[in-house]
Chain A
């Protein structure tokens, strides 16, 4: 446990019952080898809502996001401490299968990363892994997922085209369709819009609003406008001294954070005065 005296400010009180949350995180710590990247992170991620993680570059937003589906397990020599419950279940308790966890918690990356296969095969990848074999079932899933990802109209005639042969913004929506095809409960998005065109950004923001009732969404973004526009809750991360662990400065409803931030540093950051 950390000796830090840091105190996160909450505009909304933390829940006491993990079962009303999607993620219930308490005193989370994270190490890359000897480097303590995160300390003392406690926050709730509420269901059927969009939560934004904001903060300057290098403050551990991606690191924290990757803790939430145990992608950090793939990096050798990393360590997690504290509590991270998904709908009441500790995802780090021994015996939990990270592969199954990742089926339930989808992830979208900053760089669109479709497989060098056809658009159809990209979307059918997850369902096929789960044993869906019937062509008609796959067809339905592919169409439905592409529709939900706001991409169907653009690609319905070119499903056998390589997933890399479409525009970056379309590729990102293809990646979203690929994830939606396995019906995740949570969608983690790590700066999904930072490398793509405005029209696609708009389409992605629209689809986020459309699916958020079924899929809890967490989005990392450097765009304050976007955070304010799409999210219901916001958490502000900060690493004040290089080499020291990053902390959660403030967390709460987006409407509170962006209109009446409690911490001076939050205000400075969202108004662009530092970071």
Chain B
């Protein structure tokens, strides 16, 4: 006997109690007047073609419909509710809190604008003292000769930041993946505090470590003085790693367990699951983390100053001294005057603009992510 026949077994006593001629209509009625629970069990029977397959264990359709009919709701008149009015005090409290928050937010905006305005104002004389074009494209910086070209520092900063990202991001993301996907809770109990501690180490201490340990090592391995991009990359990687790791781990942890299970249940290995499902799902969060790390790297001054060599020259090898915008400003601001000082403000303005565009990128990205989340939520509700 085939399964189909089994299902339609005419001897089934429950089936025979269902009057199929009357039923569909009654179903429709019952469904309308019925509260949640009843609807659930009836709706699947609404399709008359399916009738032959329908068997209602224990209860017949007739019983269900009768039960439903008895449940005719009767409205009861109850006394009207009194709603509490908002007290004057609450109103004042709310309003004053709101203005407090507004003042704080306003101060932040004001601060940023003032700083930028000040820097721009002090940097503006570049236009006639040096020439904007000369400043932005000049490759020579010599205080004695009064020549101020920003290229060595812009390039220095970019080389230092780019290299540290290339080294630091994979290190940080892999650590995050290890913490979130592989490590046992016990291993994490050691790794997480270590990473957090690393975030709290003052940059001068990391710089000191760079000078004492990394510089001699680099000098021995690659030759040269040891002060230069490679050392800066290593030192900066250590500094940006905690930020990127922590934020990436958050992003990875927020990926629902369900999609990992789905991947395993498809016959994926752990690594396939991590590379093809988990990391792509956390992509936006990891990019955010990277950009914040980048912000930290580009603004970092002390540690870089200590290991980069501080020679205002173009990139000439991973172990040859260069200088960055931040370190140059710190080194020369103290004794500068006139055009020299103006040029340093020019460097600050460039730095400001680069950092600003990074922040904006983060904002844009997270807004996109927010949109996506909203979409996801909508999808889940529908």
Nearest chain-B residue to A270 (Cβ)?
Answer: B57
Residues of A within 8 A of B137 (CB): none
Min distance, Cβ A271 to any Cβ of chain B, angstroms: 3
The answer on a CB contact under 8 Å between B57 and A228 is yes
A100-122 contacts to B, CB under 8 A, are 100-104, 106-107, 109, 111, 113-117
Nearest chain-B residue to A206 (Cβ)?
Answer: B50
Contact of A229 among B6, B44, B265, B277 (CB under 8 A): B44
The answer to whether A113 and B376 touch (CB under 8 A), given A258-B55, A259-B12, A259-B14, is no
The answer on a CB contact under 8 Å between B261 and A113 is yes
**Interface of chain B, main secondary structure:** helix
Contact of A113 among B6, B44, B54, B262 (CB under 8 A): B262
The answer on a CB contact under 8 Å between B41 and A182 is no
Chain B 255-272 per-residue mask, 1 if CB under 8 angstroms from chain A, else 0: 010110111111111001
Residues of B within 8 A of A88 (CB): none
The answer on a CB contact under 8 Å between A115 and B13 is no
The answer on a CB contact under 8 Å between A117 and B280 is yes
Chain A 52-69 per-residue mask, 1 if CB under 8 angstroms from chain B, else 0: 000000000000000001
The answer on a CB contact under 8 Å between B261 and A71 is yes
A81 at the interface (CB under 8 A from B): no
Question: Which of A18-26, A36-44, A150-158, A167-175 is found at the contact surface with chain B?
Answer: A167-175
**Max chain A C-beta neighbours (<10 A), residue from B3, B263, B378:** B3
A249 at the interface (CB under 8 A from B): no
Residues of B within 8 A of A271 (CB): 57-59
A3 at the interface (CB under 8 A from B): no
Min distance, Cβ B297 to any Cβ of chain A, angstroms: 29
The answer on a CB contact under 8 Å between A168 and B379 is yes
The answer on a CB contact under 8 Å between A259 and B280 is no
The answer on a CB contact under 8 Å between B267 and A232 is no
B47 at the interface (CB under 8 A from A): yes
The answer on a CB contact under 8 Å between B265 and A224 is no
The answer on a CB contact under 8 Å between A164 and B267 is no
Nearest chain-A residue to B381 (Cβ)?
Answer: A168
B180 at the interface (CB under 8 A from A): no
Min distance, Cβ B378 to any Cβ of chain A, angstroms: 8
A149 at the interface (CB under 8 A from B): no
Residues of B within 8 A of A71 (CB): 261, 264-265
A250-275 contacts to B, CB under 8 A, are 253-255, 258-259, 267, 270-272
The answer on a CB contact under 8 Å between A171 and B379 is yes
Contact of B56 among A168, A178, A182, A228 (CB under 8 A): A228
Min distance, Cβ A162 to any Cβ of chain B, angstroms: 7
Chain B 236-276 per-residue mask, 1 if CB under 8 angstroms from chain A, else 0: 00000000000000000000101101111111110010001
Determine the distance from Cα of A233 to Cα of B55 in the docked complex, in whole angstroms.
14
Determine the distance from Cα of A224 to Cα of B37 in the docked complex, in whole angstroms.
13
B62 at the interface (CB under 8 A from A): no
Residues of B within 8 A of A228 (CB): 54-57
Residues of A within 8 A of B12 (CB): 255, 259
The answer on a CB contact under 8 Å between A129 and B268 is yes
Q: CB within 8 Å of A: which residues of B?
A: 3, 6-7, 9, 12-14, 40-41, 43-45, 47, 50, 53-59, 256, 258-259, 261-269, 272, 276-277, 280-281, 372, 375-376, 378-380, 382
Q: CB within 8 Å of B: which residues of A?
A: 49-50, 69, 71, 74, 99-104, 106-107, 109, 111, 113-117, 125-126, 128-129, 162, 164-168, 171, 175, 178-179, 182, 198, 201-202, 212, 223-226, 228-229, 232, 253-255, 258-259, 267, 270-272
> 17 interchain pairs (CB within 8 A)?
A49-B3, A50-B3, A113-B259, A113-B261, A115-B280, A116-B259, A116-B376, A129-B267, A162-B376, A164-B376, A164-B379, A175-B262, A202-B44, A223-B41, A225-B56, A253-B6, A271-B59
**Those 10 A-B pairs whose CB atoms lie nearest each other, nearest first:** A271-B58, A103-B267, A113-B258, A107-B265, A167-B382, A102-B267, A232-B3, A113-B262, A228-B55, A258-B57
